[in-house]
Amino acid sequence: MRSAIVGNGRLTALFDGDYYLRDLYFPYVGRYNHAFGGVFKVGVWHDGRFAWLESMEKEVAMDGLVARMTARWDGLEIAFEDFVELSRNALIRRVDIEGPGLVRVIFYHDFRIMEAPQADTAVYDPQNDAVIHYKGDFWFLAGSSHQLYEYTVGRRDQGVLEDCEDGSLAKNPVAQGSVASAISIAYPKFYYWIIAGRSYREVVEAHLELRARPQYYEARNKGYWRAVVERHPRRLLAQSVAVLMAHMGDNGAIAASLDTDILKFNLDTYAYLWPRDASFVAAALDELGYTALTKKFYELGLQLLAPYFQHKYNVDGTLGSSWHPWTARSKKSLNIQEDETATFLWALWRYFEKASDYDLLKRAYPRVRDAADFLARFRDERLGLPLESYDLWEERLGVHTYTAASVYAGLKAAAKFAGFLGEEEDAERWLKAAEEVKAAMLNYMFDKALGHFVRTVRIDDGKVIDVDKALDASLLGISIFGVFEPDDPHVVSTVKAVESALWVKTVGGLARYEGDLYQRVPGDYSGIPGNPWIITTMWLAQYYAALGDLAKAEDLIGWAESAASPAGLLPEQVSPFDKSPVSVQPLAWSHAEYIRALVAAHLV
């Protein structure tokens, strides 16, 4: 779990519960993580005694993307304030220590440049009084506004960390291979920074510029984030906007989550561009008027749309890792999640409504046409349903109610683009396909005996050959995507069944589906369908808001707010036993659905 996040769209840093730097991404938001698996520890030496931050009582807070940590130890009041400079790729920390006696602060650097712990060089640069790590064209400089007291560099496995603990560093000037470094600063008030760049000259120029006027950069950055926060009086809303901005790269990519703790579970991370997650993030920001930020995402999405999205992408636009087998490609199925393509079209039209971006429109329509034709064509001719793809939870191949709902919404959105541009044939074709999907959902996916929609059907040659009747929170997609009105009896009965089966009675919140095993924590799950998710609970809030029950919606929104960390970070899931965060924190999609719930409930 991460306690804080700061970034500028190129350099992004995340801190763990001890306020140690654990993730350092550059030059993309989500790639590369130059702290991958490492821990950048901080220690304090005071009158002959030494302690690492992990042993201190501390509090962490955030204002926008300015993080604050306060700690108490040995009669000292210790305050750190961190931000990433807007125009320079520098993680800057202001250190302020109050208390009697002599103090030294020691910073231990555990770089894994380009996500690999070998073939690095670390060197003390006497001309600029800084320690530099480099490999290839990636350079990182650790320096300060004040003169360094001591420094050392060395092999990671040969005692650099232990050298810090006596408060005196060995002053070894260079090391190569698998290396670490440390610097100490013997002042109670100073600035410290890590600068990222693609050359020695770049990091040194930034270092000298920061040294000349660090207070200027602090004031400018704090002023920027204060302006963002003050737009939104509701605290978690303001922090959600900032968190989403931290997940957005300058190239338009939006990472799902930058918390690499999930690596312990599946040997991969969430630091990818999932078009679905990113579309919901962009849609949430569009609702608040941040269309100038989201435009870059839509431009990137249109480049990747050919004519449908693959599972997920690296944040540089290359194809990401996947567990969807290529053997799923056939005349009746594809190893994609079709809802990702449909959701992007849905979000793109909403963006255009908000932004009136005629510049993007003239370039977007050919890709919109290709994608919409794919959605209309990728259907069973007899049933009218979409053909089989993977569900939004990335687990099941079949025809899913959620996916069908998103296809309906995507086709409707494309038809609106076509109608706006006078492409009447396209508009008629896509509207007809959308209505056929809607009718097919009622005919083949609503179980009259059960009184609710089913999660998934399997089809073959115009016949339904299998039905998965498990209750799943994704059935709320019939309302989220506006396939049916919220008071439609089919919707009302489905939501009632979902809420009854999936509400977690111990701590509240809505689980994903019956028997969900993903990220379970130790404990007795008898009578508990799975962990509560922020996303699913906010979908329920959006449904009640659409239904007009604003009190119920606000109660659910309050539940999400109570699940946020002290710094305003929302996890993917929470424990059904104590509501502690589970899986990644923060998750961009959680913050996006929280924002969308506030908008739906007229609370912004």
36-80 pLDDT per residue, tens: 999 999 999 999 999 999 999 999 999 999 999 999 999 999 999
Residue 100 lies in a domain: yes
565-585: average pLDDT: 98
How many structural domains are present in the chain? 1
Question: Is it the case that residue 449 has pLDDT exceeding 70?
Answer: yes
Residue 148 lies in a domain: yes
Residue 175 lies in a domain: yes
Nearest to 386 by CA among 394, 396, 398, 395: 398
- DSSP conformation letters of 135-180: ETTEEEEEEESS--SEEEEEETTTTHHHHHTTS------EEEESEE
Range of the domain at 74: 4-228
Residue 195 lies in a domain: yes
What integer best gives the mean pLDDT of the chain?
97
Nearest to 470 by CA among 412, 428, 514, 437: 514
Within 10 Å of residue 497's Cβ, how many Cβ atoms? 16
* Structure confidence at residue 167 (pLDDT): 86
CATH number for the domain that contains residue 189: 2.70.98.10
Pairing relationship of beta strands 463-468 and 389-390 according to DSSP bridges? unpaired
Whole-structure pTM over 0.75, yes or no? yes
Pairing relationship of beta strands 189-197 and 4-7 according to DSSP bridges? unpaired
Residue 545 lies in a domain: no
Side-chain half-sphere exposure of 579, counting CA atoms within 13 A:
16
Cβ atoms of residues 340 and 395 within 8 Å = no
Residue 67 lies in a domain: yes
Side-chain half-sphere exposure of 232, counting CA atoms within 13 A:
24
Residue 342 lies in a domain: no
530-551 pLDDT per residue, tens: 999 999 999 999 999 999 999 9
106 phi/psi in degrees, rounded to 5 = -115, 125
How large is the angle between the packed helices 214-230 and 200-212, nearest 10 degrees? 90
- In three-state secondary structure terms, 556 is helix
Within 10 Å of residue 232's Cβ, how many Cβ atoms? 18
**Using CB atoms within 10 A of its CB, is residue 99 exposed (0-12), middle (13-18) or buried (19+)?**
middle
Q: Is the dihedral of CA 122, 126, 131, 133 positive or negative?
A: negative
Question: Is it the case that residue 169 has pLDDT exceeding 80?
Answer: yes
**Distances in Å between the alpha carbon of 40 and those of 99, 500, 596?**
25, 46, 36
178-189: average pLDDT: 97
* Structure confidence at residue 266 (pLDDT): 67
Question: Is it the case that residue 349 has pLDDT exceeding 80?
Answer: yes
* Structure confidence at residue 267 (pLDDT): 76
* Structure confidence at residue 304 (pLDDT): 98
Q: Catalogue the long-range contacts made by 196-201 (C-beta closer than 8 Å, 24 or more residues apart).
A: 196/11, 196/24, 196/26, 196/27, 196/34, 196/89, 196/90, 196/91, 196/138, 196/139, 196/140, 197/89, 197/139, 197/140, 197/141, 198/27, 198/137, 198/138, 198/139, 199/137, 199/139, 200/132, 200/134, 200/139
543 phi/psi in degrees, rounded to 5 = -65, -50
495-508 pLDDT per residue, tens: 999 999 999 999 99
Residue 361 lies in a domain: no
Task: Give the integer Cα–Cα distance in Å for 366 and 370.
Answer: 6
